Structure 1
Amino acid sequence: MKVKKYSASTMGEAMNKVRTELGENAVILNSKVSYTGGFMGLFKKKMIEVIAAIDPDVENEKMEISRVKTKSSASIIQPVTEKKEENKSNRLVEEELKELKQMITTLRSKNQFEKFNEDVQEILFHLKNHDVSDSALFQLGNQLEKKVQDGAMPVDGRDEWVTREVKHFLHHHLRGIELGGISYKRKYINVIGPTGVGKTTTLAKMAAEAVIERRMKIAFITTDTYRIAAIEQLKTYAGLLNVPVEVVYKIEDFKKAIDKFIDYDHVFIDTAGRNFREKKYVEDLQKVIDFDHQMETYLVLSLTSKEKDMREIISQFSSIHIDRFIFTKIDETSSYGSMINMMSEAGIGAGYVTNGQDVPEDITEVNENEVVRLLMKGFCHERSSI
């Protein structure tokens, strides 16, 4: 039997201590009131002393009785309660199935590269964590496996060798797909895409390069008349760059703006961000902008988006000729494989990646070195921690 003594200023406080430590089935063996402290018999503090105990065997027996009672009472629970319990049970089953599916996916992921050498597996798993497509990874794995078997992988400088091999693979994987920023061969630079991907800020960064680094005479056109804030945002950037901006509502306004800026080197065009699932949005866009007019068009995609959504966006804008992708918000994700997957599937290269809101700093022109740098980020650290 477990026996303990408790002291408190009130009986309620003492009982709370007993319940907390010994539980509801504790037995009070004795209690008394005592007085402590004080001065010359005055101001003494009242204290309650309680001696409590619990028998482990009795406690176990009561728990078993409680369990049986609970089980028995379950048979007479009202139908509404049974329905609630059934729903709760179904939710638990669904959660367990979801966890099981995730576990199976993880196991498959761990085993899918088992045919490759351990060194090759390490590289593939790293790129898998970046969400590079399985088809690309198996192609890379086959190439690396042959070279590793032939003894081409050095002991010293291994990471540099791996980086070169990944770059070499991407060069062939993206063969015929052009990378790089504005060509400046066409007068009009246009950005399109869904809402929330950062089109206006990205356009301002691109325009800043033309003004500050290339000393070009540029202007802005915006068709984003749905959001006053977007117009004001572009006007703010225009003011900072000391360039004019025209707001257009229909194709006639667009043609007038083109005539107005006929003597300018380049015109940067901002478009409204709308729900990309609405085909009408793309149709409305084509009613306002003449895409055949010396236009270089960039489709802006956020790397925080799901690949499924990216594919839908690309499909929705397929009626418009897209020259390059721009991938934004790379600072908000640690996975960059979607860039490779989208470029490979669509046959369209990337012009820029952006990593913040600062204009003009947070933008980088895309080339093979930049793509490899992003994909191999953390690889050396991962290896050193194994």
Structure 2
Amino acid sequence: MRVKKFQAATMPEAMKKVRTELGTDAVILNSKVKKSGGFLGLFKKDITEVIAAIDPSDEHQTKHETKPVERNEEPVSPLNPNLEIMEELKNLRSLIQNRKEAYPEKLEMAYQFLLGQEISEDVAGKTIERLLEKGGSLDDLAEVENLLRLELYESMKQKKFGKPAYDKKFIHLVGPTGVGKTTTLAKLAADAALNHQLKVGFITTDTYRIAAIDQLKTYAKILDIPLEVAYSMEDYKKAKDRFQDFDLVLVDTAGRNFRDPSFIHELQKMIDFDEESDNFLVLGLTSKFADMSEILEQFNDIPIHQLIFTKADETARKGNAVNMVLTHDVGVAYLTDGQNVPDDIKTASAMGLAREIMEGFANERSS
């Protein structure tokens, strides 16, 4: 096994280095955020550190292929790689043992509960450690539940949650295929037209699937909202001109495999992501955190203002939503939990998400 430590300013940057150096089959052994740099103990910055490993048989490099080591990476020693591997594994075991010894019984139960909600080890550990630092009564399960709920809320409350007003004229929904962008677009349109009395228009650039256009046409007919189909940037600009006097224009985009950067460039050629727009990345809550992170990373060249999570009704675990918020410093606009238009959508909030994560903790652990 080849083990290597990577450091970067953010988790997406660290993951990019892992994939570049070790390939897509690499396994993440550990990740943490630590302080680095500074002057005389001041002005230190957060650095994300990731320890990754790969079986040599999985690497897609030839024996003689070498890559330059970046300044902030710590490579495995070429003189004795086995010693380096054993040292890293020893450190990981030590971290796990020390953590278990440090947590009181009720907090250890809370830590395991957070992991069961698919909160990452890094986020869960930091949350528990902040509770330990603050002190207070940690012997009662109900009190621990309340404190954890508040701690999760406090950690997320500075992020941009919810979308109480349609303050931008254009809303673009982007994201992978199958996450429910078109249905979500119809829910937003119904809310804007029926509850806020706004004059709404539809534009779709999803010309790859006839079914997608037909679906949006059906919604447009039911809601009495005009629809323009754009096959090019020129068509898109013409549609924008047609809707010049409208209050809100909702734009549907094609769901593609956004792990391929060419699709991002294709999207940029099709749509004008200007300052008049809110751009929402739509992700399914049933997806893996690593996959969500990779998709968000691919959108570095397109300003993503907030996330929309769909399929909340298809999973009892909302931890990946918290992981995305705290790991990538991004807010959440909406959560959807079904196919009904316009009912199955709700405005996201930091407290609401914290409540859903901690719901049932005390009852489950006391029974």
Normalised TM-score (structure 2):
0.70
Q: Alpha-carbon deviations, 1:154-173, whole Å to 9, x = none?
A: 85xx52x3344224322442
Measure how far apart 1:112 and its partner are.
4.6
Q: State, as a whole percentage, how many aligned pairs show the same letter.
A: 44
Q: Hey, what's the Cα distance between the residues in 1 that align with 2:157 and 2:193?
A: 32
Match of 1:139 in 2: 126
Larger radius of gyration: 1
Tell me by how many angstroms 1:235 deviates.
0.9
Matched, 1:325 2:302: no
Q: How does 1:42-121 map to 2 (within 5 A)?
A: 112-121=99-108
The correspondence for 1:206, drawn from 167, 179, 188, is 188
* Aligned equivalents of 2:269, 2:133: Cα separation in 1: 54
SS class of match (1:219): strand
Secondary structure of the corresponding residue to residue 171 of structure 2:
strand
CA distance in 2, matches of 1:144, 1:293: 40
> Distance in 2 between the 1:219 and 1:113 partners?
55
Distance 2:240 2:205 in 1: 13
- Alignment CA distance shift 1:153-1:147 (3 Å): farther
**Paired residue for 2:261?**
279
> Shift of residue 293 of structure 1?
4.9
* Residue 174 of structure 1: how far off its partner (Å): 2.7
Which aligned pairs between 1:122-271 and structure 2 lie closer than 5 A?
122-146=109-133, 150=136, 152-153=137-138, 159=142, 161-174=143-156, 176-181=158-163, 183-271=165-253
Deviation at 1:215, TM superposition (A): 1.1
Secondary structure of 1:215's counterpart equals coil
The match for 1:376 is 358
Distance in 2 of aligned mates of 1:370 and 1:311: 22
Question: Does structure 1 retain, via aligned residues, the 8 Å contact 2:149–2:358?
Answer: no
The residue identity in structure 1 corresponding to 2:116 is N
* Equivalent of 1:366 in 322, 337, 348: 348
Matches of 1:117 and 1:147, distance apart in 2: 14
- Given residue 144 of structure 1, which amino acid in structure 2 is its aligned partner? L
Q: Report if aligned partners of 2:111, 2:124 keep a CA contact under 8 Å in 1.
A: yes
- Hey, what does 1:298 align to over in structure 2? 280
Structure 2: distance between partners of 1:109 and 1:329:
33
Q: 3-state DSSP class of the match of 2:109? A: helix
Is the contact between residue 117 and residue 145 of structure 1 (CA under 8 Å) also seen in structure 2? no
Q: Deviations over 1:241-299 (max 9, x none)?
A: 11101000111111111111111100000000011122111111111111015010100
The letter of the residue matching 1:213 is: N
- Which amino acid letter does the alignment assign opposite residue 245 of structure 2? D
Query: Aligned match of 2:329 in 326, 330, 347?
Result: 347
Unaligned stretches of 5+ in structure 2?
1-91
Q: CA deviation at 1:317?
A: 1.3
Q: Once the 2 structures are TM-superposed, how far is the Cα of residue 377 of structure 1 from its aligned partner?
A: 2.4
Between Structure 1 and Structure 2, how many residues are aligned?
A: 275
Q: Using the TM superposition, give the Cα deviation of residue 140 of structure 1 relative to its aligned residue in structure 2, in angstroms.
A: 2.0
Answer 1 or 2: higher relative contact order, Cα 8 Å, separation at least 6.
Answer: 2
Gaps of 5+ in 1: 1-104
Cα distance, 1:109 vs. partner?
Answer: 7.6
Post-superposition CA distance 1:167-218 (Å, at most 9, x none)? 4322442354211126411100110001011111111111111111111110
Instruction: Tell me, yes or no, if the aligned pair for 2:170 and 2:248 is still in contact at 8 Å.
Output: yes
Superposed, 1:2-21 pairs within 5 Å as: none
Rounded to whole Å, the distance in 2 between the matches of 1:190 and 1:381 is 41
Higher helix share: 1
d(CA) in 2 for partners of 1:275 and 1:139? 33
Return the alpha-carbon distance in structure 1 between the equivalents of residues 197 and 172 of structure 2. Answer: 19
- CA distance in 2 between partners of 1:110 and 1:244 (Å): 61
